[in-house]
């Protein structure tokens, strides 16, 4: 088993970091306060080919996999700019289309996703459903002319204001044997009549905003379905596992940023006779945080590796997301504490990343549901919900 990082990964990290570092935490925080997306950084990463590193070469991408996209996401976050839409557009969107899209769908959407000129949003969460996808009420009903009419609402949908289309999970029936929802995925253009959204005001100031989305009898052609109608569970999970992996990669990057920033600070700052970092009450929390971040990084790499080889990746993806989100929170908290009052200062740029780190313990799947999954599927314990 070889744990040395391939030379191409080293070069990829350096190139991505070179771009993202020109923006850094100051740009991330400023855009978070204004609620404006980091469009310039997104565009530059796209033009350099990094947002489409997992898009097949025939569609203008890098021809690599989720492993390489995780490297990109981690390095962007480690530079102080965790881009939330990477786990939506570059992970869910690309991976669902490359595995389940028709040739026409792939040709229409993947080139734009490869160069960053096109973004996709993803809509599954609903106010009354939360983590229980079987309770989805957004329905897609096929009309006599073959089109589907979508009605319902979605909640906490990231970046739909920037997207050309939203990959929407709909109920298209009910399995009579299990009483579970038959789900279908549709690519709904964001300019479709009847589709609208309203922003959700957030106290965590992130560049990518959240929205409540309304579908009022939105008509889409049958060709907008990704995968078979009623067979949306497989495409859905082929998108959710990559989403968890890239969420983990972002969290690992956040953790690296926090620990590195705190280590620099306590090496240089001396209040008594020696630098703050000589005191174990300061150094040990940072050391524990670094251990947790590095361990999460290993599981993230394993989950991406499994996905790229079409092996079962659900367990590893969930473990990676849980471990990385917890590690990022631990790292940010330790970094803030090490900075003292400066940890809350805008000059030191930790609070904006605290908001994202805290979000990643809740979304795209909360830590409690991950623990339920591991208890049931890994440990073989009775289902608790």
> Average model confidence (pLDDT) for the chain?
95
**What residue spans in the chain does CATH classification 1.10.540.10 cover?**
7-118
275-296 per-position pLDDT tens digit: 999 999 999 999 999 999 999 9
Residue 179 is predicted with a pLDDT of 65
339 contacts 268 by C-beta, under 8 angstroms: no
Q: 């204001």: which residue's tokens?
A: 161
User: What homologous superfamily is domain 234-378 in, according to CATH?
Assistant: Butyryl-CoA Dehydrogenase, subunit A, domain 3 (1.20.140.10)
Sign of CA dihedral 288, 291, 23, 90: negative
Residue 178 is predicted with a pLDDT of 65
Average pLDDT over every residue of 180-203: 94
14-57 per-position pLDDT tens digit: 999 999 999 999 999 999 999 999 999 999 999 999 999 999 99
pLDDT tier for residue 176 given thresholds of 50, 70 and 90? low
Q: 């229980």: which residue's tokens?
A: 132
Pick the CATH number of 121-230 from 2.40.110.10, 3.20.20.70, 2.60.120.330, 3.40.50.1820: 2.40.110.10
- Stated pTM of the model: 0.96
Helix (H), strand (E) counts: the chain: 11, 8
Q: In CATH terms, is domain 7-118 a member of 1.10.540.10?
A: yes
**What residue spans in the chain does CATH classification 1.20.140.10 cover?**
234-378
316-353 per-position pLDDT tens digit: 999 999 999 999 999 999 999 999 999 999 999 999 99
Residue 177 is predicted with a pLDDT of 67
d(CA 379, CA 382): 9
**Residue percentage of the chain with pLDDT more than 90:** 89
Q: Is the pLDDT of residue 257 over 90?
A: yes
Count CB neighbours of 145 within 10 A. Answer: 8
């Amino acid at each position: 088993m070889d744990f040395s990082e391939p030379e191409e990964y080293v070069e990829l990290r350096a190139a991505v970091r070179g771009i993202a570092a020109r923006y850094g935490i100051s740009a991330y925080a400023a855009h978070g306060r204004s609620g404006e997306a980091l469009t310039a950084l997104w565009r530059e990463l796209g033009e350099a080919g990094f947002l489409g590193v997992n898009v097949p070469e025939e569609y203008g991408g890098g021809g690599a996999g989720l492993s390489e996209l995780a490297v990109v996401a981690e390095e962007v976050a480690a530079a102080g700019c965790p881009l939330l839409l990477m786990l939506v557009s570059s992970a869910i969107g690309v991976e669902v289309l490359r595995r389940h899209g028709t040739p026409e769908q792939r040709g229409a959407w993947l080139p734009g996703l490869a160069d960053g000129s096109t973004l996709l949003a993803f809509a599954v969460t609903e106010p009354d459903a939360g983590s229980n996808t079987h309770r989805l009420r957004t329905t897609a009903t096929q009309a006599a002319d073959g089109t589907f009419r979508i009605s319902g609402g979605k909640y906490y949908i990231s970046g739909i204001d920037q997207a050309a289309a939203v990959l929407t999970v709909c109920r298209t029936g009910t399995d009579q044997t299990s009483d579970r929802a038959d789900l279908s995925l549709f690519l709904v253009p964001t300019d479709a009549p009847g589709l609208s959204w309203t922003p959700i005001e957030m106290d965590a100031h992130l560049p990518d905003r959240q929205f409540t989305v309304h579908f009022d009898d939105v008509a889409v052609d049958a060709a907008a379905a990704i995968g078979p109608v009623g067979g949306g569970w497989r495409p859905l999970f082929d998108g959710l596992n990559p989403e968890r992996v890239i969420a983990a990669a972002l969290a690992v990057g956040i953790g690296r940023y926090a620990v590195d920033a705190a280590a620099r600070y306590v090496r240089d700052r001396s209040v008594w006779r020696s630098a703050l970092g000589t005191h174990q009450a300061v150094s040990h929390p940072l050391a524990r945080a670094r251990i947790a971040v590095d361990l999460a990084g290993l599981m993230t790499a394993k989950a991406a590796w499994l996905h790229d080889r079409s092996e079962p990746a659900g367990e590893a993806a969930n473990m990676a997301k849980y471990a990385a989100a917890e590690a990022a929170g631990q790292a940010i908290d330790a970094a803030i504490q090490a900075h003292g009052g400066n940890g809350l200062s805008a000059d030191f740029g930790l609070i904006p990343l605290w908001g994202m780190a805290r979000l990643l313990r809740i979304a795209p799947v909360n830590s409690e549901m991950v623990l339920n999954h591991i208890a049931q599927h890994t440990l073989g314990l009775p289902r608790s919900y």
